[in-house]
Every structure is written in C-alpha cells, then in structure tokens.
Structure 1
C-alpha cells in the first residue's frame, strides 16, 4: 500500500509520522520550502514571536508525540497561577476564572444573569436543528453570557460570529452534557467539571514541533506542488510541479488532502467535483497578530493572568490581548512586557483592509489606554497578517464533512483543521486516528 499526502502543515506532518510508525509507505508533498502551515515562529532580535497559535494545549497524543520527538526538555509550561483571564466590561477589566463553571457563576455577572445561570439545571433539554453557539448559550444561560463571555472567546478562537457557528462543530461536548444529563451545569458536576489540559510553548518557538516531525520523515518532498489528482484503474496519479524525482510516474492506493479548504477545492475540481464545490463554500476569515513591547515600569496595570478578551459590545480594536511575557518569560528582554494582540475581522471586515501603520498605531493606543501605559511609543512592534486564517464551522461546512467522509470509501481522505478542529491538538489527534484507519484498510489493498 502506498499513500500520497498533500500538504505539510501540522495535519499532514502528523499523519505521515503516524503512517511511518505503522509501516505504511507514503509520500508527503509540500508546495512550499517550509513546513508547518500556520505554526510559524520568528525571532526579531531579543523577541521570540509566534505568528500563528500563541501556545499549544497539552493532551495524551501531544504529550506522547513530544516524548517521541525528544522535545520534553524544550517544553515551557505556562507560568503557574497565570491562566485566568480578564474580560473588558464597561471600560474596565474584570478577572474571571478560566474554568467554565466558576466563570459562569462569577460576580462579574449581574444578579439577574446569575439567577438565570443558577436556573439552568431546571430547563428542559431541546434538540434545535443547526443550533448556533449563540442560540445554545442564550437559551441556557442568557444574553449577557453570550455578549461578555461566548462572543469574545469564540471570535478569538474561530475568528467569526458565534451567531453563525454551529454548536455541534464547535463545542459538541457541551451539547452532549445537555443530552445526557439534561443540563450543562449538572453534567459538569457529575463529570467533575470540564477539564482542560494546560497550555505550553517551546523554548525555541512552536515551529520547533513541525520541524522536528519533518526531520523524522523519510518521504517528505518540499517544493513539490501537486497540481492535479488523476484516477486510473483504481489507483491515483499526481501531476507535480518541479517533479525532479519522477514521482508523477508513481501509483498511489490512497490520497490524503491535508490542505486548507480553498486549496483542496482547486485540487479536487476535476477528481471530486461534489466535494470541491462544498469546499469552495467554506468561508475563511483573516486574522492579524500584533506583538507590542513596553518597559515594565511603564505599564501601570498588574498583569496577573493569561490575558484579556474584548467583547464586541465594548467596541474594541483588538479582540484579545495575550500577556505573552507573563505566560512565557524569556520571549522578550527581562525588563519588558510583550503583548500579543489578535485582530479578527469576522465581525468587522473593514479591519482587514487597514494599512499596517494604522493597525500598529491603533493597537498601541488601545494598549496604552487599557493598561495605563505611560510610554508615548512602544519599544518594539511587529505585525503579521493571515489573509485566510480561520475556516468557519458554520452551516456550509456540514456538506463538506459529509462528502469527505463518504469519499473515504474510495480511499480519498481529508486531514486538515477544517475537518479536525481549530487547534493543533485537534489536528494531531485526528491524524493519529486517520493513520490507524488507513492502516486497517491495508489488507484489502494489498
């Protein structure tokens, strides 16, 4: 059996790694010279900048992978007691706990909202077709929870509007709690809370992870852009740019598309037009990450937590500001503070069109006001824009998921964040399961 994997982001890399462990022959093709996709680290003088995910979440598969790659010594856990978050409300930051139950019952909310939250266990469960995140939380906890907790967190994670994102594609576990226990809070009590794994970084930056995986792969081909997939007599053939290894002459028993939906759609227009059409309908939203540093003595706000979320009702410029140097000391000079501001254009598309100079200025002005910063200018600033960062798990993604699953019968698979989920942990877990699935098909293809 031989498998072609197209795309060396974290999904494609992890899949190749797990197939290699299982003894399945594969070829991993990447059109660029670098691997890792959205996981990208840059060093600018003394500043270690994460342009993609600001941190990774630990979990069994991630921990196992780090051990096998001998990266344990490079793991930097988030600073202890610094994972609570702040939410801006009525012009002020309010500290709220990072666990869901404590957050929902926090004094941050008005007494009427807290009363509604405490009555959640008495509400009957409902099955609402294509229920959105907003509909679910409003139904069970009220509009205040939607406005000041759900919206800012969902917009930061997915870049979009919780009024459009499907609950089953974003927080399926919460829906399961309602189904099984009749109440989210009762379910959390019975399951001893919604446990979340700790976050971490790596001493040389998160890009160390995809690079470490790539270094272990025996059949990785960078600068090999796949232009077309052909089917012939039950096998797959590829058209490849710069095919110096004559890999276009090879036959593959299975193909895995590990690309963003829009890139996968272009590749599948001829081979699988139905899936291609569904993939074309998946919306991707842009994101901008701005790193800003100030001298510690210039910051008048006590930075003790993960960072801050900014609800849209507060009319912010940045959706969130992560206190990066508080979480991971060493990413900037010791006498400085480094903020990572996330600007998602899902609710305000005009932000994506602003020139870089204006973005940098507006981020600085907002940080200066929010954190009582006395400096007229930051010590350092850096901006990075992702034109297509977040696939939106809205009603349009459902068809793509159904068609992708159906095509697995024809040995055509998908392995990317539009089907696995938004986090690196989601991608690694999905890749491991898919590798086992492909391995189990091996006997029928020999």
Structure 2
C-alpha cells in the first residue's frame, strides 16, 4: 500500500512517521516551503518566539515520538508547581490544582462556591444545549464565567455559546465527565494526574522539523496539491511540484483545513466537499511581547464579561525561562471583531493591556493570526459525512485541537491503515 498525505502540519507529519514505523509506504505533499502548519517559531534578538502553540503535554504518544526522534535532550519542561490564573474582579486569581479547591479558594464568591458544590446532583448533557448552557446549568453562572468559560474558550479558540455540548464535551471531558460528575473529571487538573507541560529549547518548531528531516524522502514541500482523481482502484494526486505532475496512491489522507479539503474532494466526493466548505473558523491573534518581567506561573485567562480585549497571556519568561518574552492572545470566537484589526492596533492593545494588568512595560514583537476551527453548530455537517473508500480526513476539525491530540489521532489512523494494508 502507498498512502498519499496532503498537508504538512503536525497531523500529517506524525502520520508519516507512524506509517514509516509500521512499514507502510507514504508520500506527503505540503504547499508551503516549510512544514509545521500553525506551529511556527521565530527568533527576536536571540530569544525564541512562538507564533503558534506555546507548549504541549508529554503524553504517552508525544513521549514516544520525542524518544524516537531522539529529542529528549531538547525538552524544556515547565517550572514545577506552575499555576494558571484567571483575571476576575480586578485581579489575578489562581486556578486550584485540585477540583475541590474550586469550592474553597477565592476564585468564586461564597454563593458561587455553594452553587458549584451542587454540580454532582445535576444531570448530564441535554441535547441540543450549548457548552455554555451546560456549564451554567451544572456549576452556575459564576463558576462558568470565571473558570470554565475562559478555559474552554482558550482551549478551542471559540465561543462556548455556539458550541454544541453533545459534540464538544466528549472531546474535552471524556466519558467520565459527560456521564458522571464534572468535578470528578476535573481531577486532570492535579499535577500528579497530568502529563507535564513542555516545549523545546529551540521552540516548538523543533518537532515538525525533526520529523521532516527523519523522513525527507517521504516529504515534498513547496508542492501544492491541486486535485484528487480516481484512477481505477487507485487515486491520482495532482500537484504543481514538477514532472510528473501527479502521484498514484492507494489511499489518501487529507490533513488540511476544511476549506482546502473541500476543494480537494470536489471531483471524488462533491457532497462531502459541500459539507466541509461550510465549516466555520475563527482567527486568533498571537502577539509575542518583550516584557520587563512576568509573574510566576503558566499565565492567565480573562473571566467572561471583563473589559480587556486580551483573552489570555502565556508567561513564557517564567514558565520556561524565555527571558523577557510573554505571549498575548486576542480575538477568537469570544471577540471575532478583532479579526478586522490591523497589526498596529493589535500590537498596541496587547502591549497596553499587559502593562495595565502587570504594571510593567511591554513592547510588541510581531503578530500572527492563525485560523482555528470554530467547533460551532456548523460542525453538524460532519455527522454522517460520506467519504469514498480510500480517503481519510485527519485534521483539527476531525478531533480535538492540540499537538498531543493530533499526534494521538495520527497514530490511530496509521494503525487502521496498516491493518488494512
């Protein structure tokens, strides 16, 4: 079997590696001149600056990949005991490590703590309620607005009011959180139960670039794919990468954003293409800042209803020892109007609000604006999506976002393809 992979983000790259480990032939096409997708690392005055994901978790699939690529020595783990904070009621408040800490800490008012404590008595998902309505019903408006709403929005870059609970919550909480107690599922907050957060000394782009080097003979960059055509029992991947201008494969794995996947499927699956074309995305502005100092911890998210346009900040300086660097996030589903702002306004807003919150100066370095799946009502288009045999979708919109989740899905797809080879 020969597998054609379209898209050189982390999912496509991890799939390439997983297939190679299983002895399955593959070829990956990436239209850009570098791999990694939304994982982008640059340098500023010698400092590592992330323009996409700032970190990931050393989950078992990630750890295996890191070890196989011989990158263990390049890992930079988060500072032990680092806390996440929420800006609420005029100051930063620590998110408890343990779920029961929500009922005793100062994040919620006494009335809010009492309401959250009633959560085990409430029922599970009630389709077609939204994620926001589900959490307000389970833990109350205050706990939703000050904790669960900001964290979910940060995880998905979307607006929980528009996200269907029945589709999103199984990805977020797993069966335990959906069927039983939400606070019981939140045990994953405890450090002992969570894989450690980490980055690489030279930045997150270390991972995709290492995969590309390891499997250079299987990867073609600067080779945009134009279409997919049937050729008997096989497929022809038409590309603009030279002569010949197509590649014959037995199976196609599409690891591109939904709009690009729709264009590729027009010839072989027009009905599926129409559905994918309707999936909505949000833009998130990523603004690295040069700062005088940062508090100790992961960073903070902003409670719903607060006046800030900044939705959150990662304190890279304290978390990973990235001297003088923090990263602000604006926009997304909670503030979609930010997508229309020019670079100067984004930079100024991020810098001004960092200084107002922390009391120290901040200078913007640059801006990136990745598009993230909205996971909103448009995602019902994936229900019953009919793809021809021999074509698989493997991208952020087919599962949960995040490097660890993308690597895990790539492993699952590779296992299925190898079993059918």
TM-score using structure 2 length: 0.93
Unaligned runs of at least 5 residues, structure 2: none
1:18-37 equivalence runs, <5 A: 18-37=18-37
Runs of 5+ consecutive residues of structure 1 not aligned to the other structure? none
Mapped partners of 1:80, 1:178: distance in 2: 27
Q: CA deviation at 1:171?
A: 3.1
Residues 219-265 of structure 1: CA distance to partner in whole angstroms, max 9, x if unpaired? 11111111010013221012111323x261x4211111010111111
Preserved CA contact (<8 Å) 2:233 2:250: yes
Residue 413 of structure 1 aligns to a residue whose secondary structure is strand
Deviation at 1:340, TM superposition (A): 0.7
Candidates 164, 167, 185, aligned match of 1:166: 164
Of 261, 272, 276, the residue aligned with 1:275 is 272
Question: In structure 1, what is the equivalent of residue 53 of structure 2?
Answer: 53
Q: 1:165 to 1:362 in 2, by over 3 A?
A: same
Confirm or deny: 8 A CA contact 1:229 1:237 kept in the other structure: yes
Name which of structure 1's ranges 27-36 and 234-243 shifts more when overlaid on structure 2.
234-243
Residues 130, 395 of structure 1: 8 Å contact kept = no
User: Does structure 2 retain, via aligned residues, the 8 Å contact 1:310–1:318?
Assistant: yes
Partner of 1:389: 371
Mapped contact 2:87–2:302 kept (Cα < 8 A): yes
Is 1:10–1:210's contact at 8 Å kept on the other side of the alignment? yes
- Residue 4 of structure 1 deviates from its aligned partner by 0.7
Query: Which residue pairs with 1:312 in the alignment?
Result: 304
Q: Cα 1:175–1:254, aligned 2, differ >3 Å: closer, same or farther?
A: closer
1:122 and 1:193 map into 2 onto residues whose CA distance is: 27
Counterpart of 1:140 in structure 2 is 138
Structure 1 residue 127, shift from structure 2 partner:
4.2
Q: Which residue of 2 aligns with 1:111?
A: 110
- Do the aligned partners of residues 429 and 356 (structure 1) sit closer, same or farther apart at CA in structure 2, a change above 3 Å counting? same
Aligned with 1:258 (options 255, 260, 279): 255
The 2-side partners of 1:238 and 1:154 are apart by 38
Verify: 1:420 aligned to 2:399, yes or no. Answer: yes
- Conserved in 2, the CA contact under 8 Å of 1:99 and 1:194? no
Cα RMSD over matched residues? Answer: 2.2
| Distance in 1 separating the partners of 2:40 and 2:176 | 36
Q: Helix, strand or coil for the counterpart of 1:27?
A: strand
Maintained 8 Å contact 1:323/1:338: yes
The Cα shift of 1:306 comes to: 1.0
Residue 281 of structure 2 corresponds to 284
Q: 2 CA distance for matches of 1:345 and 1:390? A: 8
Using the TM superposition, give the Cα deviation of residue 401 of structure 1 relative to its aligned residue in structure 2, in angstroms. Answer: 5.4
C-alpha deviation, 1:385, in angstroms: 2.6
1:179, 1:12 → 2: CA distance? 30
- Alpha-carbon offset, residue 322 of structure 1: 1.1
Q: How far 1:419 sits from its partner (Å)?
A: 0.8
Counterpart-to-counterpart distance in 2, 1:384 and 1:189: 35
Alpha carbons of 1:358 and 1:399: their partners in 2 closer, same or farther (altered >3 Å)?
closer
| Structure 2 residue matching 1:154: 3-state secondary structure | helix
Structure 1 length-normalised TM: 0.88
Counterpart residue number, 1:225: 224
CA–CA distance in structure 1, aligned partners of residues 382 and 298 of structure 2: 35
List per-residue Cα deviations over 1:297-342 (Å, max 9, x = no partner).
Answer: xx7xxx121111112311212100111110011x23xxxx322101
Partners of 1:188 and 1:194 within 8 A in 2: no
1:13–1:241: structure 2 CA closer, same or farther, 3 Å change rule?
A: same
Using the TM superposition, give the Cα deviation of residue 184 of structure 1 relative to its aligned residue in structure 2, in angstroms: 2.4
Q: Is the 8 A contact 1:74 1:203 kept in 2?
A: yes
Question: What pairs up with 1:344-423 in 2 under 5 angstroms?
Answer: 344-373=331-360, 375=361, 378=362, 380-386=363-369, 388-400=370-382, 402-403=384-385, 406-407=386-387, 410-423=389-402
